[in-house]
Amino acid sequence: MNKTIGIFGGGQLGRMMAQAALPLNIQCTFFEANTDCPSAALGPVFSTKATNGLQDFITSADVFSLEFENTPLIDVDVLTKQKDLHPPRQALAIAQHRLSEKALFDELSIPVAPYKAVTSLDELKLAVEQLGLPIVLKTSRGGYDGKGQFVLRTVDQIEQAWAELGPAGELIAESFVTFSREVSIIAVRGIDGDVKTWPLAENHHHNGILSHSIVPAPNSADLQPVAQDYITRLLNHLNYVGVLTLELFVTDQGLYANEMAPRVHNSGHWSIEGAICSQFENHIRAVAGLPLGSTEVVRPTVMINIIGQYPKSEDVLALNGAHLHLYNKTEREGRKIGHITLMPNNSAELTTLCRQLAKILPNPLALSEDMSI
């Protein structure tokens, strides 16, 4: 197939999608402000700053996708008058607005924590009265990796929370969910409506940034069918094509949806080595109109993000069962610049590998030495 896929964004997700596309003889182009982006080695990059950049980008490909849910809708609207975009505009618009996202979850009977819209200090005070404390106050638009959020625990924090987030405009106040762990389900839907899901990933964060994911999530056999049902409802309702991610909290009352991401996801990077067909390849297959591949797990896998500083490649590659992925990004505090996939044979081997990695990584975040698979 000699098809070209245009991707809004040129970061590591676009890079890994393009890497998955090449064996299928599918080329990728990118629309990105920084023409020296991680995806630049994989195909032409059209600058968002160029006068005719968007139209040149639209001309460059047959069908389009994206790597970032905050892709400007104004650009999407220009594109979709001429070419097809997967996932659909509706999914993108909903994911960009947390209140619309919660309303969709409600409509599809996907459980969420109680929430209220907040547009003034008085409405914030009312939300505190109605929801109780603690609550998580978030901007309705933007924000990722813990940005654009304020955990409000006491009444005397109300003024501070409003001062910090109020200028952003419309906010959402959510009841604080008591949960035992965070998981995510990733699924893909083809143009023909075929849906496939990968096993739940158990996700661990440090300072709002994903540290590592374990797949399949331990002790999740009863959670998997519920999560699959929720994400399938979303995919079919939106007439979605491509990969979709749903982040969930595990609570005593069952699974609560946190948010969805209309794209390939950090918690699915494990699938490059750990599944028969990765999230990246299946996304490319779906967008190109090809049959979907098996999402079956090869064996339990752990993905660990490289944050801020690069380790020595030779140290990582000397570890048995370790796979190294670097994104060609400059080092910066808090920045995801690569990931490592571990494929241990058992929990004891995983513990050994984690201890070794903790000594190798300049910034091991919350990497635990006693993880189990």
146 assigned ligand-binding residue = yes
Q: How far apart are the first and last CA of the chain?
A: 39
356 assigned ligand-binding residue = no
Beta strand 149-152 with 171-175 is unpaired
273 assigned ligand-binding residue = no
CB 264 within 8 A of CB 13: yes
230 assigned ligand-binding residue = no
Alpha carbon dihedral 299, 305, 311, 315, in 10-degree steps, equals -10
Residues 10 and 320: their CA atoms lie apart, in Å, by 31
144 assigned ligand-binding residue = yes
Residues 134 and 25: their CA atoms lie apart, in Å, by 52
205 assigned ligand-binding residue = yes
156 assigned ligand-binding residue = no
Per the structure block, which two tokens stand in for 330?
């400059």
**β-sheet bridge partners, residue 246:** 185, 260
Residue type, 29: T
174 assigned ligand-binding residue = yes
327 assigned ligand-binding residue = no
Q: DSSP alpha helices (H): ranges in 27-157?
A: 53-59, 73-80, 89-95, 98-107, 121-131
- Interior angle at CA 229, CA 225 and CA 232, nearest 5: 135
Residues 3 and 289: their CA atoms lie apart, in Å, by 10
Closest CA to 333 of 354, 306, 368: 306
70 assigned ligand-binding residue = no
98 assigned ligand-binding residue = yes
User: Which residues participate in the annotated binding site for ATP?
Assistant: 98, 138, 143-149, 174-177, 182, 205, 258-259
Which residues contribute to the annotated binding site?
98, 138, 143-149, 174-177, 182, 205, 258-259
